[in-house]
Structure 1
Amino acid sequence: MAEADGDSVPMSAETAGGSVMANFLGVNRGVDSEALPGISGRWSVKGASRGTTSIDLSACKSVELSDNEVHSMVHVQASSSSGIGSEAMMSQPQGSEAERTTSPASTANQAASKDGGKMQQAPDSNSSRQPYVPCKVCGDRASGYHYGVTSCEGCKGFFRRSIQKQIEYRCLRDGTCQVIRLNRNRCQYCRFKKCLAVGMSRDSVRYGRVPKRSKSQEDQSVSSTDSSQDQSALESRQLAIYDVILSISQAHHAHCAVTDDKIKSIPRKTATLLQMNKLQIPEGRSVFTQEELERQKMLMWQQLATLVTPSIHSVVEFSKRVPSFSDLSQDDQLILIKTGFFEIWLTRMARMFNRNDNVLLFDDGSLIAREELDIVYNPAFMTSMFELSAGFTMLSLNDTEVGLFTGIILATADRQGLSDPQGVERIQDRLIEALRLQVSRNHSTEENLFAAIIMKLPELRTLGSQHNEMLRWYRSRWQQVELPPLFAEIFDIPKSAEDAQSS
């Protein structure tokens, strides 16, 4: 492959078609439920080690799980202790007895009274004394504040079961099913997404009846509200953005080895690259000769390549699950992955740079000391990497926000050689909007955080270009080292004399 300055990597259809990367992109595209014969009207719910349970429903597509308010759900598994019970699955009204009834009785109970010899009617649940405050999710009568919003008993119970049992729902339609009282049990995916869209959160613990003031305000604000509002353009757009957040959240958790939960279980090895390669400065000398230094540099880089290669696999798999990414041509997909990989890898690994100990920790527990990285690259470049990593870590982003940001890096429309930059830009615009929404919800008091995140993009771009320039030295010495094929391809390292001549 031809070497390019900066982050440009010229690609050709012939090159893409026969590459290791192309083979990765050519599999596991995901399943379009509507393309499968006989699957229409089926709903799948996955549970840990229990296979897949399908139930006849008339809706559903695919669900991923969202940010920190449903963080426990992103691992796509059901609680091992309880499994997936019928209460979360059956196409019957769920929740309390109040939900299993329809609307309050329309006929009034008559109470006899001796007052003036007249019969007095008992107050009706729909009377003016009890204003109708709708559930934010389905429009049924709200019973109070549950998980941060006014909601009915049914939606309260549904949301509670969803986050406790860690259920993954799927929508076999387009993910925009209407959620109203009469059909709220039809598509659990869209119902759960609606719960999140209106603001339900496991971290919101305000419960109780709706106060009179709120009832009055709600009554005035929703007096003209009906089910048609569910179809408004604004709500549809917001729900579409939540779809992006859900998709990216699950993709990131499934295909990133350094999420918050996974980092906690990483073993800590003591050996560094020098020790793993058993290269030590000979006794009686304090420095390496130039030849020894170059040999050591190549061997350490080879070891580094082995440690980085699993991340290439994970970024490729992550990219396949970025909404609309697979709609791009394979050539464009390859260009975006190759030119964006180092920036994505550095973003993911930011929290693994330990400035106190001056080491970089990998997900298998391997350590690389700062002085070793100085040899593999150079001290100035490594100073920039450590500083950027420290600055990014200080932003305190959660895993979903990191996933959205890496998606934005992936969908950079000005990479050289793209045939459809407009299509790439549309993907990035949706991801930016999703990140903006996510940050506003999770960091409402940090007004400048979103801008600070976006400002990291040019810093990463600069480091990516510098890294590509430093690879020239290794490309010219490709015969001295054996690299994993995927690593060699992602960074355009020749694997044969023919490759070297064309670069």
Structure 2
Amino acid sequence: MSNLSLMLLECCDMCQASVGFLSPVLTTDPRVCLICGDRATGLHYGIISCEGCKGFFKRSICNKRVYRCSRDKNCEMSRKQRNRCQYCRLLKCLQMGMNRKAIREDGMPGGRNKSIGPVQITDEEIERIMSGQEFKEEASLPEHTWSNNGDSSDHSSPSNGASEGNQPSPASTLSSNRSVEMNGGYTAALRDQYMNTPMNTPYQLLPHLFSYHAQSGLLAPQPRSLYPQSHPLVLQLVAAEDLAPLTTPMLIEDGYKVTQVELFALLCRLADELLFRQISWIKKLPFFCELSIEDYTCLLSSTWQELILLSCLTIYSAQIFGDLADVTAKYTPSEDEMQGFSENGMEVMERLIYLFRKFHQLKVSNEEYACMKAINFLNQDIRGLTNVSQLEQLNKRYWYVCQDYTEYKYPHQPKRFPEIMMCLPEIRFMAGKLVNVPLEQLPLLFKAVLHSCKSSLISYRTGSSPCLTSTGTSPGN
């Protein structure tokens, strides 16, 4: 028998073993990813999976990421929903038998373990991996220190990414003997590495938001200078933003009753203007020439809802929670509209109100907003991208710039940067939920959210406690 025939038979045996072990459903279609149901591209780390889940699993293990699920740890995994919760996606990878020991330690392509088929591990082992306990023991380091190569005890990243599972969290690479040299934990060597030269090393430098959180409190805040490379990058991002007020008319005569159709038309017009501003923003980005038009199109089509939501909560919040709230106050929903408001709409309403209060508390500056927007946009896990490595480098660059600026500007708020970054996964999640709200429910949803948020603002100013107004009791006028 020829070598080619032997190779073909071996491949067939591998596929049959994997399919039979994991899922009877795949017997009829072995090309379906066992994690998300997308089109599989082959046997990756022991099971049949798509390129997206293969890459996600590799990054999660190589970077020792620890995720969080904001729900019941049973989120839906499908091609469209897999990016909503990183925790549940990694959990399913492990449950379905992906072999973490088949990943090369240097992060380069090509497995180092040639064992065939999936692996079976106990629930206890899975829990140790998901909690990061196994990574801590491998590193043999105290929880509050960093190792020389950046593989820390806890590479926690923000929970619940929404655009292909990601809020990338570029990590500190502090040497152990200088880990507390500065408040915020940067060294000159790290700055030189990420700022001045393109990095060809694997994407393994990710800051631990949770351990970083604790580390920041070890030293008293100390005033320091902004790193010279950060200042021009922040200015370039801010210059790309259109900070002028929205031009969509949101004034209305006293006594006029707004109909559902009129309010919906206004919301559509606002969305059009906000989307047009995002397209114009892309062309002004300092790294515009570094990526292809195809990648920009892919990024914008996947993140435009998130960019709009972020801008509404920050630079346009005065108009959205002021002028638009005044218009929605003149819209009175019918009983049928009130009764037909879905449970999904209620959840969206409550979480949008939470986001508003969080941003109102943080008072995000234009500089922080510009960095957050760039970080959210540069999502290297979105499907269909052609230059993933370049996106990773750009994402890390602006993550570091944002952390540098925030620590410099707010030295007495050591937890500010993690809190700001943790808002991005929530925005991504909410943008995905908003898309699923029926169009006819949007006027009532905006009325309820804006009324409650405006009431909160009044309560903050008067010193009383803000109360969350439910949809069923929101006033008609």
Q: Shorter chain as normaliser: what TM range?
A: 0.3 to 0.5
Higher relative contact order (CA 8 A, sep 6+): 1
Max Rg structure: 1
TM-score, normalised to structure 1, is 0.37
TM-score, normalised to structure 2, is 0.39
